[in-house]
A and B are shown apart, each in its own frame.
Chain A
Amino acid sequence: MQISEIDLERFSNHFSAYTELRLHENTTQQISLLNGDVVSNARDTSGGVSSRVFDQGSWGFSSNANFTDDAILSTIEASTRNAAFLATRKGDSEARLPAAKAQASSDFRTGKPRMSQDEIIAFLRACDQYVVETCPEIVSRQVGFSALDMEKKLYTSDGSCGHNVNTRSLISIKLTTRNPQGEPIELGEGFGSRGQFEDVFPDMVEVKRKVDELYRHLMNKKDAVKPVSGYHDVILASDLAGILAHEAIGHTTEGDLVKAGSVAGDFLGQRVASEMVTLVDYAHTYEGETLPVPVYLDDEGVASRDCVIIEKGILKNFMHNKDTAQHFNMALTGNARAFSYTDEPLVRMRNTAILPGKDKFEDMVASIESGYLLMRWTNGQADSTSEFMFGVQMGYEIRDGKLGKAITDTTISGVAFDMLKEITMLSDEMTWNCSGMCGKKQPMPVGMGGPAVKTKMFIGGE
C-alpha cells in the first residue's frame, strides 16, 4: 500500500483527545567509490505510522512499521493509552495546546524518468575519472552519492492535513594528497540540492567546477601554516555564514531550548547584533525561489511561516512548536519536524540565513590588515550559553588587505551574542547550502544561507 492511497481522516473517529496521525517513509540511497572501486552500494526504505496524543499536559506516542488499517488503529490505541498512563498520574486538566488548522501538499520528486542504478554509478565513475585526469597529485580519492526522500502524510484532530514529499541529492568528494613531509592533506565537500538525482545533476558541469576548485585549494593547503590562536579579524566566506546562522544563533533561539534556559531567553526585544544583521528562519521560499528544505506544513499540522529571529540587530522571535508557543504566548511558526516515523516532532530549523548586505567581497578582504579568510565547514556545535564552535577545513591568511598562505584545519568559536555585535561588513551575495544534517536528538536535513561576513572570532591554533 502506498502512502498516497491511504485516507487518514477515516480514522479520526478513533481520536479521543488531541491527536496527530502521520504516515512517514524515508528512502535513502548511498553509493561510495573509493579510488574507483564501488565499496558501498546500499539502499534503505523505512516507513510506518505514528500517532501522538495530548492528554492533560502529557504526550503519548506510538509507532508501527506497517501501513495496514489494523496497524494504524493499534497505533492510535497505544498512543492514547500511553498518554493516559501519564495523565492518570500527573494530569493537568487545564493544559491546552494552541489550535491550528491548515492544509498543504508538495512533491519534489522528479517528473523525469528515473535513472537506473547503473546510470547513477556510471555518472559517479565519470566524476572519479575526471579527478584522475585533472588532479595529478592526488593519492586517494572518494566520490559518493547520497539521497534522502522523505514522504509524510498527516492528519490531526484539529483538521489539519497534508501530503508532502521532500527530496535531497548530494555528491561528496574528498581528495587527499601529501605534503612535502609525506603527511596526508585532505579536503572534501558535499554539494547538491533539493530534488532527485535527475534534476540535481543533469550533467557534469557543476561537479567539474567543484573538483577544479577543491583541487586548487588542496594544492594551496599542502603548504599551509598553522593559524595563530586568539581573537582575529575574520571573513567568513558565504558558505560559512549559513552554519554561523544555524549553530551560533539558530539553536539558542529554538523555543524548546529557550524554555530550558538558553541565554537567548533573557534578550528578547534587546539588541543582540550589529544593526546590519537580520536573521530569518525561512519556511520554504526566499525572494521567489523555493529553498533547500521547503516546509509548508509542519508535523503538528501548523502552516509554516517565516520566523524573523533578529531584525536589524534586535532579537525579535523564537522558533516554536505548539508547546513552546503556548508556553511563551507567542505565535506558532511551524517549526515542529520529525525525522522518522518513530520520532516525535521537535523544534527544528528549516532554512536559516543571515540576509546579505551591500559590501563587495574584495572590499572586505582589503579592509583587513591582519586576519583570516575562513571557508568550508566540517561540523559545528551550539550551547545554551550561546557559545558556539565549528570546524573549518580551508582558509587563508589575510595580510595588508591581501590573501596570503593557506592555513591548516582549525576550529573557530565565540559567544554568538558578542560576535554578532562585531559584524561590520556583509557581502552582497547570498549562498544557500543544502548539505547540512542537524543532529539535535534526531538527524534532520536543514538549509543554511548567508553572505560573506566580516567579524571577530577566536581561532584555535598555535
Chain B
Amino acid sequence: MSEKQLASEILTGLQAAGFERGTARVSNDELHELQAENGDLNLFRTNFETEIGMSGILDQSRASLSINKIEKSVVGEAIDNLKLMALSGTPDPAFDIAGNQPAETFSAGPKQPDYELMYDRINEVEAHAKANYPILNLRSAGITYFKRQSAVLNTNGVEFQSVRGQYNVSVSFSSKQELATSSMMYTGFSSFDLDKPIHEYTNVDALFRQSTEQVLTEHLPGKFVGDMVIAPSCLPSFLGFLTARLGDAAMVSGTSVYKDKLGAEVASPLLNLHSQPVGGELCSGYWITGDGYKAENSVIVENGILKTYLLGIYGANKTGMNRAVNGGGCYVVAPGETSYEALIGQVENGILINRFSGGRPNDRGDFSGIAKNSYYVRDGKVQFPIKETTVSGNLIELLKSIQAISRECLNNGSSSYPWIRVGGITAS
C-alpha cells in the first residue's frame, strides 16, 4: 500500500469516527549509515521505519497521535484513542487545518545510497586527518544516506506527496598532545552528492587545523568588554533566541519580547535573515509545513526590520496575526560587504567564537556561556586559542550591535551563514 493510499484510509477512518477535520501523514524512511570511531570504520547500519501521524478536530477540540505500525487493527485502535484524546481536550476556535490547495508531488536528491562511495569517503577523510594532522583524533566520522517518501492528506482536500534523499555527514574530533587536550569540536553538512572529499566541504579542514592549535590554550589577559566575531557554526546559538520568540509558544503566551515589533527595528540594518525551505540553495529544505501548507520562502528580518512572525495556524488564529508562509528553519543570513580578514582586522579587543556552550537564555535575552574552540583577537590579529573563557551579554542588544557581516558564507545544507561581528560583549 502506498503512503497516499494509507493516508487516505486514515482520513476515511477519522471522518467515520466523527472528526470534522483531520490530517494524515504517512512516511516511509530508509537510513543507511557508515560510521567510524577513533579511526576505525566499525558500524554499518540500515534502518527501515514507517511513521504515521494523525491529528483531528472534534467539536473544536484537537488531538494528535503517531504510531509506526500499518496493520489495520493498530491504525483503527489509534483512531479510537485519538477520539478519546480529543474528547478530553479543550474546545478552542483557533484549532484548524490547512485549506484546500492543488495536489502536488515533489522530489529531490539521490534515490539510493552509494555504499562504496560512502565507504571510500570515510576512509579518505580518516587518511587525510592522519596525514595532515597527526595529533588530531577523529572521534567519529559518519555518512548517512536518508530517504523519506511521504504523503500528507487532509479533509479539506490537501494532497501532497514527496520523496527526498540526501547524504548527511558528521565529524567530531579533538586533538591531544602529551597531556594537553583540546576541546571537542564537531561539524557536519547535508548534500545531494558526495562528489568531493569530506574535508573539502564547508570548513571541515579549517576546523581540523584549528583543533590541533587548540591543545595549547591560554587564559584571556583579563576581563574586558569588547567585540565578538561569531563564526557561522556558532551563529544559531545567538539567532535562535530571535526565531524561537517569533513562534506560536512565545507569541501565544505573550512572553515574547518581540510581540509588538512587527515592522520595527529588531537588529542592526546590516542584518537580513531569510527562511528558505524551497528553492534549492539548501538541500535540507522542506516542501510542506507542519500544518499542511505548501511552504514558501520568506524574509524574516530585512535591513534590521522584523517582517514576519513564524506563526502556524493555531498561533495566527490565537493572536489575530498572519500565518507564516513556512515553518521556519532553513535560515539564510545574507552576506555582507566586509571580507573575513577585514572583519577580524577591525577588532581592537575581542574574541573569535567558534562554539558556544551556554545556559539557556532567559526571556529577556540575557545569556552567558563558555567560548569553546575560540580565539583571543587583539589589534586586528588572532592571537591565541583561549580557555575557560565566559562571554555574556544580552541577545536583544547583540543583534542591534552588529558591526559588520562577512562576504564569505558557509552553506552546510540546512543553513547558510556568514561571520558576524558584534560589540558590547563581556569576556572574562
Contact = CB atoms under 8 A, between A and B. Distances in A.
Contact of A46 (B67, B255, B361, B390): B67
19 contacts: A38-B61, A39-B314, A41-B88, A42-B65, A58-B41, A60-B44, A62-B48, A63-B47, A82-B46, A86-B41, A117-B85, A176-B255, A184-B364, A186-B363, A256-B37, A344-B45, A387-B388, A409-B362, A410-B368
Interface stretch (B17-25, B157-165, B175-183): B175-183
A85 interface: yes
B65 A44 contact: yes
A82 B174 CA distance: 29
Contact of A229 (B47, B179, B364, B392): B392
B253 A41 contact: no
A442 interface: no
B84 interface: yes
Given A344-B45, A409-B359, A140 B254 contact: yes
A-B pairs, 4 with minimum CB distance: A391-B359, A460-B368, A82-B44, A118-B88
Nearest to A63: B47
A41 B44 contact: no
A389 B370 contact: yes
B209 interface: no
A43 B43 contact: no
B249 interface: yes
Given A82-B45, A256-B37, A342-B49, A391 B360 contact: yes
A184 B363 contact: yes
Interface in B87-118: 87-90, 92, 115
Contact of A413 (B45, B85, B388): B388
B44 A35 contact: no
Given A176-B363, A387-B387, A460-B368, A41 B86 contact: yes
B139 A261 contact: yes
Contact of A379 (B45, B360, B368, B372): B360
A391 B254 CA distance: 24
Interface of B: 31, 37-38, 40-51, 61-69, 81, 84-90, 92, 115, 119, 137, 139-140, 174, 176, 179, 181-184, 223, 249, 252-255, 257, 314, 357-364, 366-370, 372, 387-388, 390-392, 426, 428
Given A121-B88, A342-B31, A62 B45 contact: yes
Contacts, number: 226
A409 B366 contact: yes
A46 B68 contact: yes
Contacts of B387: 385, 387
Given A59-B43, A86-B44, A259-B38, A387 B65 contact: no
A378 interface: yes
Interface in A340-395: 342, 344, 378-379, 381, 383-385, 387, 389-393
Interface in A32-61: 34-39, 41-48, 57-61
Given A186-B363, A229-B426, A342-B47, A387 B370 contact: yes
A142 interface: yes
B152 to A, nearest CB: 17
A411 interface: yes
Contacts of B249: 34
Nearest to B179: A266
A93 interface: no
Contacts of B428: 229-230, 460
Contact of B368 (A61, A89, A118, A411): A411
A64 interface: yes
B399 to A, nearest CB: 17
A59 B63 contact: no
A126 interface: no
Nearest to A386: B181
A17 interface: no
Contact of A59 (B31, B42, B50): B42
Nearest to B215: A385
Given A66-B69, A460-B392, 5 more contacts: A46-B68, A62-B45, A82-B46, A460-B359, A460-B369
A41 B223 contact: no
A15 interface: no
A45 B360 contact: no
A383 B372 CA distance: 9
Contacts of A44: 65-67
